[in-house]
Homo-oligomer: A and B are copies of this chain.
Amino acid sequence: MPQISSRGQEMPASPIRRLVPYAEAARKKGITVYHLNIGQPDIETPQPILDAVRRSDFKVLEYTHSAGNESYRRKLVGYYKRNGISINHTDIIVTTGGSEAILFGFMAALDPGDEVITTEPFYANYNGFAVEAGVVIKPIRASIESGFALPPIQDFEKAIGPKTKAIIICNPNNPTGYLYTQKELETLRDIVKKHNIYLFSDEAYREFCYSGTAFSALQLTGVDDNVVVMDTVSKRYSACGARLGAFISRNKEIVGTALKFAQARLSPPSFAQILAEAAVDLPSDYFTETKKEYMKRRDLMVSRLNSMPGVFCPNPGGAFYAIAKLPIDDSDKFCQWILETFSYENQTVMLAPATGFYSTAGLGKQEVRLAYVLNCDHLGKAMDCLEKALVEYNNR
């Protein structure tokens, strides 16, 4: 049998994947499983943007421009302007999901063996893109005790070496929900400027900020050549299946390089571009409403969590995730047990063990990530389950 590459062997499987058979087995037993394990919101995709696709009347489903339809990119300029970000349509490459934008960034700016720094815990798929690009993620620990705030500047200075080419942040953060302040962004600006490296800012959750306003890395001054923003419509419009994102920078060289990667794969998906172009015209109260809904869910979930004995959950300032510290021995074991062995009123909950979001071995063993993507009724029932489960788990 021909061999699998070392890269293929190193490629991490989805950290939640191991648990999927246990969730399926629970379902087969007739147990309702509340999925707080992934960022798949139950919020309906806005009808007008689905209708834009459904009413489209072209004859040939053609390739688009490799950087995405110009009409869409020009509209996006207006969207960013409303968010205080001033860019041109030529600064944008429309990508197949935010995922591809991250991969383009890694490949365009880093060579195999080069290093990218991020705060830990971090979005688990950064690991996958790093393996694909052959680059090394150097994590700097953010602690649950400080609510996952930006680690002190000395930690960055210590981690930066000759192979460091970029810092990547996710703001507001997946998996912690932490919303970086303008001051923290300015700290990062000073670091990337001093060391002449890139700042990759994954802003997939820009619309969902509760403790303040989102401050984009593209709003920083004096680092036009350093900043690349990775974006996506997935969460913004509850349109995860569209697979449409964006790679944005005022640095013409990095955009030109990313365009070559974009050309090799021909074009981003066409239907999704119709949807996303229509989305720019949604009334602004769309976000007011969805944000209100997520905030209600956050308030419910976080207060329920913190009322459970031995549980600590910092209040997330944005996105729709929280990391909670639980009174458990091993989050992987617990997340399996709650699916495999536990149920309460014929219901249970699927959580993501936080170990998958740390690359330092041993971290996250008492933590889980919860996505508040379900309505308050379901979320409340999921919290009931978790509360009972923690008691039962420790008494078993």
Contacts and interface: CB of A to CB of B under 8 A. Distances in A.
B108 A260 contact: no
B62 A40 contact: yes
A66 interface: yes
A198 B257 contact: no
A109 B8 CA distance: 7
Nearest to A15: B263
A163 B197 CA distance: 34
Interface stretch (A48-56, A140-148, A358-366): A48-56
Contacts of A7: 107-108, 111-112
Contact of A271 (B2, B110, B261, B272): B272
A196 B112 CA distance: 27
A171 interface: no
Interface stretch (A125-133, A181-189, A288-296, A305-313): A125-133
A112 B109 contact: no
Interface in A322-361: none
Interface string A42-76: 11110000100111100111111010000000000
A357 to B, nearest CB: 14
Copies of this protein, total: 2
Which 10 pairs, one residue from A and one from B, show the smallest C-beta to C-beta distance? Answer: A128-B264, A241-B270, A271-B271, A8-B257, A99-B265, A8-B108, A14-B263, A11-B260, A269-B269, A61-B241
Given A1-B225, A17-B263, A60-B238, 18 more contacts: A2-B165, A7-B108, A8-B108, A8-B260, A43-B60, A45-B59, A54-B55, A62-B240, A63-B241, A64-B241, A112-B112, A112-B134, A125-B265, A129-B264, A240-B267, A241-B269, A243-B268, A271-B271
7 contacts: A3-B109, A4-B254, A5-B114, A38-B63, A61-B241, A96-B243, A134-B134
Interface of A: 1-9, 11-14, 17, 38, 40-45, 50, 53-56, 59-64, 66, 96-97, 99-100, 103, 107-112, 114, 125, 128-129, 132, 134, 165-166, 192, 196-198, 225-226, 238-243, 251, 253-254, 257, 259-261, 263-272, 275
